[in-house]
Chains A and B, each alone.
Chain A
């Protein structure tokens, strides 16, 4: 194992141990934070009692729809915009400014239009994720070397075959970055919306537990969301590395 990796693990373990110690010693009060070991224990109990599964399903479904639709729409829109340079130049300022606008300010409007159900939060998750997918698709398509396209034409490959065998593999690393960010952004959109105002879901339950001074439940659910996102990101990262290694890159 590399020195940096070992040190990193050491630092992380030490940090958790420090927080555990501070909580146990009472430096951090029980009303502020519970020890990390008790967070994990509380999550285990909640899962065994089956109290949170419905909210988990609801949130993960919303995130799943937001991620799926933003990936599909993002790639298609990215491909269309890439094919039309005039359009691209026109909407370029829009893409550059997109993430400076707090998308959550549209949430109240969506609630008024669609009602207080799961549609507004899926929309926010989608809006958060779709632009990063478009931007990364454009980046990926820009990186396809013209010589490869010419070679494909020389070999008389059909358009579909060119897209599948030349363009897609070349753009894949950028699409991967887009997908990873789309997942993270959809989570932010959905959970954030649930916090602000909603009728259910993990964000809602965390907010409820907070107002109820129910720290074990609140910290357990926060731990669940954070570890879920981390595991998904790390899995995608490992897969990406394996794909790159197979093609002899990196």
Chain B
């Protein structure tokens, strides 16, 4: 790393991250001392087994199934959420009618709805996609709605005065004005969709990482449980960190 180029604040933030990781690893090792091999594997053992799993043939079809279902669900949630949010933000009255309902639905435990999803879609990838999308779509809708509502009217008026075509208005005024908030919604939606997809695999599925986890509980295979947990946390954490960097950059520019 080029030490001259990185500002002091960045260097100290990296230092903070090192301290944080060190403390977490230390606590993990201590917990292992207390709980023993029955309860969990050590950080080093987990890492070793994670590498083994990544090299094994049976892991990839499951990981592919989860990733596939997750991506389709995320696409659906993002498409439907941005579209619905834009309409509700544009048409004030519909937005006012819908907002409390959306907030209420957002706060109910959606896991309880999973059996209904299963009855409608049957066990399989369609239910996983539907459940994942159900988790992600509401925050994306709410954030997009607020973004569209809060566009400064002066921007739109200026666009009209400059006689921009509707397409040009959308591209050079509306999209840049709403992008930061919409992106925050997508970031939250990303995390929730992943949770929804994994939950549906844990509850009723024959494939995917959630199924592998449940299978490992049945077999009391601590190595698999710990390495899968580790991988999922690492994936979700680093994806979120990357999205957060983009998010901050967009908000600072706006």
Q: Which residues of A approach B to under 8 Å, CB–CB?
A: 3-4, 7-8, 11-12, 31-33, 89-94, 96-97, 99-102, 104-106, 108-109, 111-113, 180-181, 184, 187-188, 191-192, 195-197, 203, 206-207, 209-210, 215, 218-219, 222, 225-226, 229-230, 233
Contacts and interface: CB of A to CB of B under 8 A. Distances in A.
Contact of A187 (B109, B216, B236): B109
Interface in B157-207: 190-191, 194-195, 198-199, 202-203
A104 B109 contact: no
A102 B199 contact: yes
A112 B194 contact: no
B237 A100 contact: yes
B97 A191 contact: no
Contact of B111 (A93, A105, A195, A210): A195
B111 A192 contact: yes
Interface in B211-229: 213-214, 216-217, 220, 222, 225-226, 228-229
A205 B34 CA distance: 34
Residue in B17, B216, B226, B237 with the greatest tally of chain A CB atoms within 10 Å: B237
B101 interface: yes
Contacts of A188: 109-111
A181 B107 CA distance: 7
Given A100-B240, A233-B107, A108 B112 contact: no
Nearest to B34: A113
Contacts of A218: 115
B39 A191 contact: no
A113 B198 contact: no
B222 A191 contact: no
A165 B62 CA distance: 56
B110 A112 contact: no
A115 to B, nearest CB: 11
B39 A93 contact: no
Contacts of B220: 112
B57 interface: no
Nearest to B93: A4
B20 A184 contact: no
Contact of B96 (A4, A111, A197, A206): A4
A89 B112 CA distance: 37
B214 A197 contact: yes
10 contacts: A4-B96, A93-B20, A99-B191, A104-B195, A105-B233, A108-B229, A188-B111, A206-B112, A225-B112, A233-B104
Q: Which 9 A-B pairs have the closest CB atoms?
A: A100-B240, A100-B191, A4-B96, A192-B111, A210-B115, A188-B109, A184-B107, A187-B109, A102-B195
Given A93-B17, A180-B107, A207 B115 contact: yes
Nearest to A222: B112
B118 interface: yes
B112 A226 contact: yes
Given A94-B20, A191-B109, 20 more contacts: A8-B97, A89-B16, A90-B20, A92-B16, A100-B194, A100-B240, A104-B198, A104-B199, A105-B228, A105-B233, A112-B39, A112-B217, A184-B109, A188-B109, A188-B111, A195-B111, A219-B116, A226-B108, A229-B108, A233-B107
B237 A106 contact: no
B33 to A, nearest CB: 14
Interface in B223-254: 225-226, 228-229, 232-233, 236-237, 239-241, 244
A102 B20 CA distance: 20
B225 A7 contact: no
Nearest to A15: B101
A225 B119 contact: no
Contacts of B228: 105
B30 interface: no
Nearest to B234: A101
